[in-house]
Structure 1
Amino acid sequence: MYEDKTLTCRECGAEFIFSASEQDFYAEKGFQNEPGRCPTCRAARKQRTGGSDRPQREMHEAICAECGVTTQVPFRPSGDRPVYCRDCYSKNRM
């Protein structure tokens, strides 16, 4: 169904192969766009950004409603719902 394509990296200008199996993988995942960077530039970018293009989350201190330990959560606790530390959250989730 798919055939190998030769693409040009937008970062370094090198040509690279977008293989038929990679195209199939992209289609399975629902990705609409072809890769814009060669594998080397993709790996370097991932290394620089820590594997993510997202900025670091702001963390907020809270007291675990179950064990009372001070923890950090990625949202501002409003006080109307219990907040759990990672361990208690994992136990209660099951």
Structure 2
Amino acid sequence: MAFQDRSLTCVDCGQQFVFTAGEQEFYEQKGFVNEPKRCKGCKTVRKGTGGHGGPRQEFEVVCSACGQQTSVPFKPTLDKPVFCKPCFVAKRSTM
């Protein structure tokens, strides 16, 4: 299959960027089915911020096992226990 450079629009900044023939060939070799959605600049910014467009949010919680104050990278729910890292690792090793 002959690939040709194509112009795409970045979903973040709206600018045009080139999806080169070489990149298209690479995507095909890797089995990727979706075209890139972001220009190189926006992709770099997104990767540098945890993939969510901003700094990773941490939530302050109390460990359900030892009672120590800790933070977790997800919003905890009331129906599930939350553990600090040492308690989580200890609990996981006993499973």
TM-score range, shorter chain: 0.5 to 0.7
Q: How many aligned residue pairs are there?
A: 84
Q: Say if 1:3 and 1:19, in contact at 8 Å, map to a contact too.
A: no
Q: Say if 1:60 and 1:75, in contact at 8 Å, map to a contact too.
A: yes
Q: Any unmatched runs of 5+ in structure 1?
A: none
When the two structures are superposed, what TM-score results if normalisation uses the length of structure 2?
0.57
Q: Say if 1:62 and 1:70, in contact at 8 Å, map to a contact too.
A: yes
Alpha-carbon shift at residue 14 of structure 1 (Å): 4.1
Q: Any unmatched runs of 5+ in structure 2?
A: 10-14
Q: What is the percentage of aligned positions where both structures have the same residue?
A: 24
Which of 6, 19, 32 pairs up with 2:24?
19
CA distance in 2, matches of 1:16, 1:47: 18
CA distance in 1, matches of 2:37, 2:81: 44
When the two structures are superposed, what TM-score results if normalisation uses the length of structure 1?
0.57
Q: Secondary structure at the match of 2:65?
A: coil
1:26-48 deviations in whole A, cap 9, x for unaligned?
Answer: 43xxx4x32245xxx32x21332
Q: Say if 2:45 and 2:53, in contact at 8 Å, map to a contact too.
A: no
Counterpart residue number, 2:82: 83
